[in-house]
Amino acid sequence: MQKILFFASREPCRFPSLHKRFNFLFLMRVNLICGVLLTLTINLLASNSILGQNIHTNTVELGIRTTTLKAALQQLEVETGMSIFYPSEIVDRYGAPILPAQKRTIAETLDLLLQGKSLGYSQRGTSIVLFEKHMSFERGDQTAQHRVVNGQVLDVLGKPLGGVSVYIRNWQRLPQELRNVSSTATDENGIWSLPVPSDTTFLVFSFIGYEKQEIRVGNRSSLAVMLEPDQAMLIEDVVVTGLFERPKEVYTGAVRSFNQEELQQVAGNNVLTALKSLDPSFQMPENINLGSNPNALPEVTLRGGNSLVDPGGATTSPFNYETAPNTPLFILDGFEVSLTRINDLDLTRIKSVDLLKDATATAIYGSRAANGVVVIETIRPEAGDLRVTYTGNMSLESVDLKDYNLLNAREKLNIEEQTGVYLFWGDTRTEQRLEHYYNHRLAEIQRGVNTDWTTLPLQVGVGHKHNLYIEGGDDVILYGIGGTYLNTEGVMKGSNRQNILGNAYLSYRKNGLNVRNEITITSNVGNNSPYGTFQQYTRLNPYWTPYNDDGSLKYFLETVYDGEGNRLTNFDNYDNLDGNTTDPTVRPTNPLYNADLGVKDQTRYTNLMNNTALQWQVNPWLRLTGSVALQFQWDESDRFLPAQHTSFANTPTFEKGSYDKGHGKRINYDVNLGANFNKAIDKHLLFGTLGFNAQQVRSYTNLYTVIGFPNARLDDITQGLGFRDDSRVTGEENFTRLLGGFANASYAYDNRFLADMSFRLDGSSQFGANNRIAPFWSLGAGWNVHNEPWLKDTDWLDMFRLRYSFGYTGSQNFSSYLARTTSRFYNGSDYRGMIGSYLLGFGNDDLSWQKTQKNNFGFDINIFNRLNIVGNYYIETTQGSIGDVNTAPSSGFTSYSENIGDMRTKGYELYVRYNIMNSPGNRNNWSVFANLFHVDNEITKLSSTLEALNARADTTFSSIPITRYAVGQSTNAIWAVRSRGIDPATGYEIFEKQDGTLTNIYHPRDQVIIANGRPKLEGTFGTNFEYKGIGANVFLRFRIGGYAYNQTLVDRVENAEVNMYNVDRRVAEERWMQPGDITFFKGLIDYSGRTITTPTRSSSRFVQRNDLLSLESISVYYRFSDALNKRLSLSNTRVTLFSNELYQWSAIQRERGLDYPFSRTFTLQVSTSF
């Protein structure tokens, strides 16, 4: 209860005006949480009425008026709360009798429903399984020649499967008298028998939760069939690591698995967005600058990441070829791909996603797995007749500007007058000029000018996606071909991202040999808005208008003349944020003017990926595999600004206009060879994998700028005048090779005691010559407590598993050349006809692997087959994070790389789901869930490099907290000078020095740790519901206990330049103005009436609670019934409406989306097959 109260409460605030609008929301959150808890309690108590049901003694009062047997069985499920499993292909053939409403036992009701039909039933716990009873042949001329084939169906653990539907493929084409004997179902021992017409007959084996198999009978009289779990339906029962698969029941790793339907509960287009809601340990920190920009690549971490980020490091690749230090490894269909590739991946093509977290799950990837591994498998074609699947959607993006509250024209002029903008003591002439400005602006206001600049560059973005997939084949040849077109329109006019994807799949299987090839081509074009950045508009003063009197667009927004006709220049110090630092335009220009000039700001790439795989099933327990992936990517970037662009207002004539051009190329080769072993001997179950992996990655980039484009129509780079002075073509090349061997073994005894072992030996070109090779390994142990003899017959406990893992992984998310000595030629000069060179960086032969030690303790519990709880507690220690060490200029180079420090991370995860209603046979379900996550870290060791950076921070005056590290402290610690608030007498801030004394003078050496930026608890909660095809999914996100530095308050309120730019309303209403004012913000003017110009530095005043509650995703859908699908000649038809980021409450008030606004998305999606 204390946690609930903590979530619903806030700390007392000295300035209640900052929070007064949230009281109503506070009550709503308490009611919502109490409602969820009440629902859970009531249903948990009610669940006892279902446990231990006996169909021969428990009664049900039921009347049947439906016409089909399937509908009658669904009605019986609802009334009894039991799950009824049946082969749909058989049940669909029968109607249902009319039964009057009266009390009967469940068995009596079933007997009446199945009377005269070839169906039988049996009870298994709280489930009922229907199967077809054998019917005798009437010995006629046609049937006397048929022979009987029998066999047994097992799962991957060798356990018999009861209730499996077995039928002849294309049974509809058989003569009428043979159709009633064309199908059956396995008994509780998995045994079945069926008469077949000929040796060419194909038998189909189908069961809910398992992949359908089609097998040709041939001349065999007995068949042993093993069904594998269906990843699309029950992916949580199998762990996919990208190199091997393991049954989750005997696996000790910390893994979260999601199938396509779960992913599409959250989002229709982006898999990263879906994963963020499904698992809070998969995080994409909010970027308040880039907002909802469709061309911005998000930052992604898993469990917070394990690398100590070098404050001096930066990514230099313009095409995101380099990976951020804490980004997890992404594996697509068994091969490593970039974050960009995953961000642009079509969600409708994804079959499953596995998040690998601990040592057992990740050590098999060795030097690349310290930050976790995300394994994605795409959909592969299924056998059967030609089948076409279409998914299409339309989305609307609506801008979210609720965090902006700017002054209108009259308010802005008033605050300028109050702060003395138009006064200049001691210079009458200057005051006269300023009076001209005031009169001009007042006249504009009086004639009705009050421009809301924030609305002018915005639109409602209309996007759409279309995916078409064609598949078919048989047990020998499978084929699939598909295509996707996705156009995402942003809320800034002219911004969009277009994706075109095509893929083809072909598989050939013969005598245990399977050869498959898949080729995927992706073309992407991203256009940035020609209207500039959103921040350019939020700064513009509302008493300016973008239009001349004749309706044409202005070039300069304000031109003021004195009485003699001379243009005044008193305010010619305006920063237009247009990127021109060489010859900046100091007058305010109109950013709308540039939109129609033919400006181009575009990036594009083409990616080609070909995967070829060979699989040989040597015998039932041994499989050999080999695969080769080739990936090529070509990138290009263009940014063209013609001479008429406002950024060139002060540029010399022949240098006006510019064209920034970039080229990139990346080539990946990836080879995997492996052998997979599985064997069940009595109570022993053993899985083994042995493999080899080789990888080579090479990338190139070059960038150059050409100037001198006199006309907007001359937009080809060859039409430019030449390079800017002292500029040239720049670029870089990265080349890495990785060679590794790996082994994994999983063992289970009596499905009770579990063990996993992994070992990998990696060699990489990225490390020093003395540390090229390193081992990585893991050990895992588990105990299936629920399979102990003393608990096996317990009705209420369905699963109780304990897990522990320990091991080492590594990371190599850094540039390829850090261990090498690099140099560059003097290509602009020579010495006696010879060209010299100079050092760029000094190599470090002792640069070693960054290693992460991982400890994970976990448990999995399932109670009453309703309440599912998964928990993990982990400790991860990183040794040897890599960063740059600065050197003396006399050495001839600026830096070299070394292992700069160690870090320890601790955290826990708790995933809880309660099934209020669950009926797999008809998909009716209702569940509530909560996913909780906490992580924090501390630095355990620092090199002299980072200590030197900390010392530099003690002398640097900055309004932004400077990143600094200290042993024993978190990397998320926020450093600032402690503040005692604003002095009511003077309007100045009072600071507390390190010795405890007070002062009005700021100094960075007084900085201390104020708070931790990591929340104490964060996560998601919500509900999933479906009844008779109508469903809804709700995901809410919360964050409790974290702090953030409110930089926008500093920049937009305290350090706002009122004389130049429009400002937040709090500047006018909440800043100190006269002695006696008690305010949160310091004065605009001091006690003498003079403007305070001293900038605000990093102060504890702006360290604020960052609690959050947001409606992250909500979707409603309708799934067509089988009857409606059949009438329309369709299948699997579904209509869904998604909404993302619909509402957000935050304890911290700040402007978000500074360069690009945030948005709310509404998507209508239709999917069907025919």
Q: pLDDT tens digits, residue range 863-880? A: 988 999 999 999 999 887
- With a CB cutoff of 8 Å and minimum separation 6, the contacts of 6 are 1040
Q: Which pLDDT value is given to residue 873?
A: 97
Please check the confidence at residue 242 and state whether its pLDDT lies above 60.
yes
Across residues 309-328, what is the average pLDDT?
65
For residue 1009, the surrounding DSSP H or E stretch is strand 1007-1012
Q: Give the tens place of pLDDT for each residue, 1063-1100.
A: 999 999 999 988 999 999 998 888 887 888 889 999 99
Q: Which pLDDT value is given to residue 843?
A: 64
CA distance 533 to 537: 8
Cβ atoms 320, 338 nearer than 8 A: yes
Least trusted range by pLDDT, from 43-57, 366-380, 385-399, 550-564: 43-57
Which DSSP symbol is given to 1100? G
- The domain 51-132 is placed in CATH, from the list 3.55.50.30, 3.40.50.740, 3.40.50.1100, 3.40.50.300, at 3.55.50.30
Q: Which pLDDT value is given to residue 410?
A: 96
What is the percent of the chain with per-residue pLDDT over 70, rounded to a whole number? 85
> Could you tell me the end-to-end alpha-carbon distance of the chain, in angstroms, rounded to an integer?
52
Cβ atoms 441, 413 nearer than 8 A: yes
Q: Give the tens place of pLDDT for each residue, 323-337.
A: 678 889 999 998 999
Please check the confidence at residue 937 and state whether its pLDDT lies above 70.
yes
Cβ atoms 438, 572 nearer than 8 A: no
Least trusted range by pLDDT, from 33-37, 347-351, 705-709: 33-37
Please check the confidence at residue 321 and state whether its pLDDT lies above 70.
no
Q: Which pLDDT value is given to residue 884?
A: 56
Judge residue 75's burial from the number of C-beta atoms within 10 Å of its C-beta, 0-12 exposed, 13-18 middle, 19 or more buried: middle
pLDDT band at 199 (very low <50, low <70, confident <90, very high): low
| Beta-bridge mates of residue 863 | 797, 867
Task: Compute CA distances 525 → 37, 268, 488, 661, whole Å.
Answer: 47, 20, 11, 15
Higher pLDDT, residue 3 or 386 = 386
Report CA torsion sign: 577, 579, 582, 583: negative
Please check the confidence at residue 593 and state whether its pLDDT lies above 60.
yes
The token duo for 1000 is: 């009005």
Closest by alpha carbon to 260, among 139, 143, 133, 389? 389
Please check the confidence at residue 740 and state whether its pLDDT lies above 90.
yes
Higher pLDDT, residue 749 or 139 = 749
What is the percent of the chain with per-residue pLDDT over 90, rounded to a whole number? 49
pLDDT band at 15 (very low <50, low <70, confident <90, very high): very low
CA distance 465 to 488: 8
Please check the confidence at residue 579 and state whether its pLDDT lies above 80.
yes
Across residues 657-677, what is the average pLDDT?
94
Please check the confidence at residue 177 and state whether its pLDDT lies above 70.
no
Domain extent listing, the chain = 2-48, 51-132, 147-228, 409-449+531-591
pLDDT band at 71 (very low <50, low <70, confident <90, very high): confident
Across residues 645-665, what is the average pLDDT?
92
CA distance 183 to 204: 9
Least trusted range by pLDDT, from 152-156, 254-258, 494-498, 820-824: 820-824
Please check the confidence at residue 3 and state whether its pLDDT lies above 60.
no
Alpha-carbon 319 to chain mean position? 20
∠ at Cα 399 (393, 405), nearest 5°?
Answer: 165
Report CA torsion sign: 1068, 1072, 1075, 1077: positive
Please check the confidence at residue 780 and state whether its pLDDT lies above 50.
yes
Please check the confidence at residue 22 and state whether its pLDDT lies above 80.
no
Across residues 680-708, what is the average pLDDT?
91
Please check the confidence at residue 255 and state whether its pLDDT lies above 60.
yes
Q: Which pLDDT value is given to residue 818?
A: 61
Please check the confidence at residue 799 and state whether its pLDDT lies above 60.
yes
The token duo for 289 is: 């600058």
Q: Are strands 850-863 and 461-473 parallel, antiparallel or unpaired?
A: unpaired
- With a CB cutoff of 8 Å and minimum separation 6, the contacts of 157 are 247, 249, 250, 680, 685, 751
147-228: CATH number: 2.60.40.1120
User: What global pTM score does this model have?
Assistant: 0.79
CA distance 864 to 868: 9
The token duo for 69 is: 């047997």
Q: Are strands 222-226 and 147-154 parallel, antiparallel or unpaired?
A: parallel
- With a CB cutoff of 8 Å and minimum separation 6, the contacts of 793 are none
Q: Are strands 329-332 and 373-378 parallel, antiparallel or unpaired?
A: parallel
Please check the confidence at residue 220 and state whether its pLDDT lies above 80.
yes
pLDDT band at 618 (very low <50, low <70, confident <90, very high): confident
Q: Are strands 350-356 and 335-337 parallel, antiparallel or unpaired?
A: unpaired
Which DSSP symbol is given to 30? H
Cβ atoms 732, 316 nearer than 8 A: yes
3-state secondary structure of 206: strand
- Across the chain, mean pLDDT equals 84
Q: Which pLDDT value is given to residue 120?
A: 77
Alpha-carbon 612 to chain mean position? 28
Q: Which pLDDT value is given to residue 1121?
A: 87
Q: What order do you get walking across the sheet with 213-216 strand by strand?
A: 183-185, 165-168, 202-206, 213-216
Across residues 769-796, what is the average pLDDT?
88
CA atoms within 13 A on the CB side of 236: 8
Least trusted range by pLDDT, from 227-236, 245-254, 525-534, 845-854: 227-236
Q: Which pLDDT value is given to residue 122?
A: 74
Q: Which pLDDT value is given to residue 41?
A: 39
